Structure 1
């Protein structure tokens, strides 16, 4: 067999895992690590982006401000580097704590600068077309809290419809993870915050094992959907 006819290995699919939390020992960081493990086990080459550890500056600058008459604008070097990382990924998983029914300021700033005009939107064929993204949001509310369905809907409206839809993603889904706090939080009939006793011992181990399994399930479902449509 000639060298020209030799079979070459198919490149592994790529994934970008983004985490937005100020503590490296947070539950969000832990979930991001589990997502990396899941994607790696599924054969993906993973690029791990910790926005705080990499000192991403979420403030908008003139260099990164959209120019509506120039969709080919070259943005700041840092933003262009992040764009290349997004562009290189087949699958993106974003992990964050839910703040006020939305994403943290750090993550919002990353979206504003990196998912910019001419790159993520503003073209007849979006550069991110066909990619898949999972938004894993950790919430302090308990799973049986009446606010959870509305929180899910708000996040889906912002992230699936307001972001991924305009960027041409083939699949965007929100994996909401309530029960993130060790001490259950709820509101009483008068709107007062009620904080329950912290779980501990075997109950805590069981609780967070189920939490991990749910997060991993969201990753597995995204990958399974990709295989079905491949």
Structure 2
């Protein structure tokens, strides 16, 4: 159900994109999610990790003294921490690599969600925030392994990260059928690759993909609704 933009007027959404190509389905999905959030009244802070040149490698400057939760983080890390603190909600959009997030997104979490900032305090600084993880997968929507993929992502992202860092709510939006050639394993463990979809079939595949992505974002917005 569409939302009145005034419901979330003045709230900020940090949209984090983790893909190296601006013409990718991931970037397309991020643009559509951003438009939905804007229509619902959010201010947008768009963080395209590749476009901004984020370095995912941990440095000594990021952890000069790991055990000191008041340690002086690097300037780059502090700026990303500021953007997280300024956001009411976070939406990450990424391709699923090996049942996890890409290295650049993992490095952002490693460097920025640091001890003393995201965890390690009796009252987490991120307490009360909400996050949506939109993960695009090449796995076919009818692959029997899909529940296992979902469970792996939910364990890592909801329990292992967001819950540990005090988020009020974390949800995974798993989006299979992201590839033109859908992938699956058969009962014997053989890798199967469909022929590439084309024409009307391809149009229907990606229209359904967009619909499911929009539904995840819509649910996330609805749960964050602020009374007018």
Structure 1-normalised TM-score?
Answer: 0.92
How far does the alpha carbon of each residue in 1:133-169 deviate from its partner, in whole angstroms, 9 at most, with x for none? Answer: 0000000000111111011111111110011011111
Say whether the 8 Å CA contact 2:61–2:73 is kept in structure 1.
yes
SS in 2 for 1:124: coil
d(CA) in 1 for partners of 2:150 and 2:34?
24
Q: What residue ranges of structure 1 are gaps of 5+ in the alignment? A: 1-9
Deviation at 1:197, TM superposition (A): 1.3
Say whether the 8 Å CA contact 1:130–1:169 is kept in structure 2.
yes
d(CA) in 1 for partners of 2:66 and 2:57?
20
SS in 2 for 1:63: coil
Say whether the 8 Å CA contact 2:11–2:41 is kept in structure 1.
yes
Say whether the 8 Å CA contact 1:66–1:117 is kept in structure 2.
no
Instruction: Say what the alpha-carbon RMSD is for the aligned residues.
Output: 1.7
- 2:183 aligns with 185
4+ runs deviating over 3 angstroms = 66-69
Quickly say closer, same or farther: Cα 1:111–1:53, change in 2 above 3 A: same
d(CA) in 1 for partners of 2:159 and 2:226?
23
- 1:124 aligns with 122
d(CA) in 1 for partners of 2:31 and 2:64?
33
Size of the alignment, in residue pairs? 221
- 1:165 aligns with 163
Structure 2-normalised TM-score?
Answer: 0.92
Q: What residue ranges of structure 2 are gaps of 5+ in the alignment? A: 1-7
